[in-house]
């Protein structure tokens, strides 16, 4: 069958162990599909003395130089995570003429353009299917299968931790603190959940998706980001009564040549497919001029779904190596202007706690009217007799975010307003 295709693995954590386990279990199948066996020659770890189940001790090394000194290594799989030293290691591997497969969303979001350019300059491939959506195939479809389309929008649920939490809040009426504690107990949320609950993880993934979908240079800093920490059980109850679900949506769209990229909690109408993506599942919805709307859904995290995406890339590269096919040309990315949030138009939901007395709604309506904001509906959901307050839920017609922000500041200043509890965009319906 010929000499094996040599592989080096950078990292042997949960995902790395999943890749090694899958390579062992599927060895005969992968060899048949590639035309040669796949051989793991090196596994880079911090501590070579630590025992690792399923990792050959002879393959362990703490030195990238040892990996790069082995001429039999043709493919490097990076599953270390984090920005450094992963970025430097990937770059060095590309510069040495090795193909690289990575699951690193942070590195690809922050440095993807540079690394893809480096890969092209050294006639090797850099593949990163596992960096977004875990086991969902989305990078490859955007790179190849949907290439004939003018993609007009990408909307995604791409953080399983927050989707699990929001599903629990919706289905059980739980509050944020309770579902966070449950997610941490089940291992879905880290002890420090900031990257998930503040939308940082999702912003990395959205930057990657926007780059591929629109062929533009996007960084995580271009993504306007709001987390889920202010959501309450009341918001979910009101959403349900209005016919909506609440999801942390990562959304990218080109509007008049400018990028609108957001990660934020959104009221999603029950008629929308994304409203029904629950638990730890992820989903990516792509809109194209030829295919219309297509939805990719599946497990977004976990060692084996991520290993599935990693190994799909490994097999792709290995088959090209065996067949002697040259790497495809990288798509060049162009710079893009980011549209300010003040200019982004949306419908909105406002939850406002007010003094339970006549004339309050009229004063709020006057402020909205002066900003040219049209009210779609107003419902008084509950009254607290002891506090002398009522809760108003207001939905608006489409309006620029800047006008709404100005109106909210004025509403908050009214002496009859106790609190503007939440302001969320709405889609569908």
Considering the domain architecture, whether residues 180 and 265 belong to the same structural domain is answered as yes
Please identify which of the residues 205, 247, 337, 403 carries the catalytic annotation. Answer: 205
Range of the domain at 376: 342-427
- The residue among 291, 323, 355 that closes a domain is 323
Q: What is the mean pLDDT of residues 177-196?
A: 92
pLDDT band at 1 (very low <50, low <70, confident <90, very high): low
d(CA 373, CA 306): 45
Residue 303 in this model has a pLDDT that exceeds 70: yes
Specify whether 252 is located in the same domain as 316.
no
- pLDDT tens sequence across 187-201: 888 899 999 999 999
Split at pLDDT 50, 70, 90, the class of 169 is very high
In a domain, 243, yes or no: yes
| The pLDDT of residue 276 is above 70 | yes
Same domain membership, residue 246 and residue 220:
yes
CATH number at residue 294: 3.30.360.10
Q: pLDDT tens-digit profile of 66-120?
A: 999 999 999 999 999 999 999 999 999 999 999 999 999 999 999 998 999 999 9
- 235 and 124 both lie in a single domain: no
Residue 244 has pLDDT above 90, yes or no: yes
Q: Is residue 328 part of a domain?
A: no
Residues 23 and 54 in one domain: yes
Residue finishing a domain among 265, 288, 323: 323
Q: Which residue has the tokens 């990660």?
A: 263
- Report the pLDDT averaged over residues 359-365: 95
117 and 218 part of one domain: no
Query: For the chain, how are helix, strand and coil distributed in percent, rounded to 5?
Result: 40, 30, 30
SS3 state of residue 114: helix
Let me know whether 282 and 310 are in one domain: no
Percent of the chain with pLDDT over 90: 78
* pLDDT bracket for residue 242 (50, 70, 90): very high
3-class SS of residue 11:
coil
Residue 187, pLDDT score: 85
239 and 270 co-located in one domain: yes
Place of tokens 């979001």: 109
- Say which residues have a Cβ less than 8 Å from residue 10's Cβ, sequence separation at least 6: 44, 64, 67, 76, 77, 78, 79, 80, 86, 89
Residue with tokens 């009522």, as numbered in its chain = 390
Boundary-marking domain end, from 255, 290, 323? 323
Q: Which residues lie closer than 8 Å to 75 by C-beta, 6 or more apart?
A: 5, 6, 7, 8, 98, 99, 100, 101, 314, 317, 318, 321
Total tally of structural domains belonging to the chain: 3
What distance in Å separates the CA atoms of residue 64 and residue 87, rounded to the nearest whole number?
A: 13
- 315 three-state secondary structure: helix
205 catalytic? Reply is: yes
Residues 30 and 117 in one domain: yes
């Amino acid at each position: 069958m010929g000499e094996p295709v040599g592989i080096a693995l950078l990292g042997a954590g949960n995902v790395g162990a999943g890749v090694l386990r899958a390579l062992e279990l599927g060895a005969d199948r992968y060899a048949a599909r590639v035309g040669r066996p796949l051989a793991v020659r090196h596994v880079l770890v911090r501590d070579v003395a630590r025992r690792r189940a399923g990792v050959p001790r002879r393959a362990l090394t703490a030195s990238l130089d040892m990996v790069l000194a082995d001429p039999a290594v043709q493919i490097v799989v990076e599953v270390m995570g984090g920005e450094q030293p992963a970025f430097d290691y990937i770059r060095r591997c590309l510069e040495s003429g090795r193909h690289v497969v990575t699951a690193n969303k942070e590195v690809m979001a922050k440095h993807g353009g540079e690394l893809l350019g480096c890969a092209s300059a050294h006639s090797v491939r850099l593949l990163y299917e596992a960096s977004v959506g875990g086991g969902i195939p989305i990078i490859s479809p955007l790179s190849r299968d949907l290439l004939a389309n003018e993609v007009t929008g990408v909307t995604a649920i791409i953080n399983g931790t927050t989707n699990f939490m929001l599903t629990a809040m919706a289905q059980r009426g739980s509050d944020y603190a309770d579902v966070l504690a449950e997610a941490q107990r089940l291992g879905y949320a880290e002890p420090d959940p900031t990257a998930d609950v503040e939308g940082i993880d999702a912003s990395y993934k959205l930057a990657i998706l926007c780059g591929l979908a629109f062929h533009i240079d996007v960084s995580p800093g271009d993504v306007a980001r709001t987390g889920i920490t202010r959501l309450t059980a009341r918001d979910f109850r009101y959403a349900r009564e209005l016919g909506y679900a609440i999801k942390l949506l990562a959304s990218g769209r080109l509007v008049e040549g400018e990028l609108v990229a957001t990660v934020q909690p959104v009221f999603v109408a029950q008629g929308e497919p994304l409203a029904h993506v629950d638990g730890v599942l992820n989903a990516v919805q792509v809109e194209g001029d030829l295919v219309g709307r297509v939805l990719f859904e599946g497990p977004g995290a976990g060692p084996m779904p991520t290993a599935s995406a990693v190994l799909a890339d490994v097999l792709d590269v290995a088959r090209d190596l065996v067949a002697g096919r040259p790497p495809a040309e990288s798509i060049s990315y162009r710079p893009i202007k980011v549209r300010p949030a003040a200019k982004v138009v949306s419908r909105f939901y406002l939850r406002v706690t007010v003094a339970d007395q006549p004339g309050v709604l009229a004063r709020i309506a006057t402020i909205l009217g002066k900003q040219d904001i049209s009210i779609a509906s107003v419902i008084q959901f509950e009254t607290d007799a002891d506090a002398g307050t009522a809760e108003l839920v207001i939905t608006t017609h489409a309006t620029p975010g800047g006008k709404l922000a100005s109106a909210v500041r004025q509403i908050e200043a009214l002496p009859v307003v106790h609190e503007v509890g939440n302001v969320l965009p709405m889609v569908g319906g």
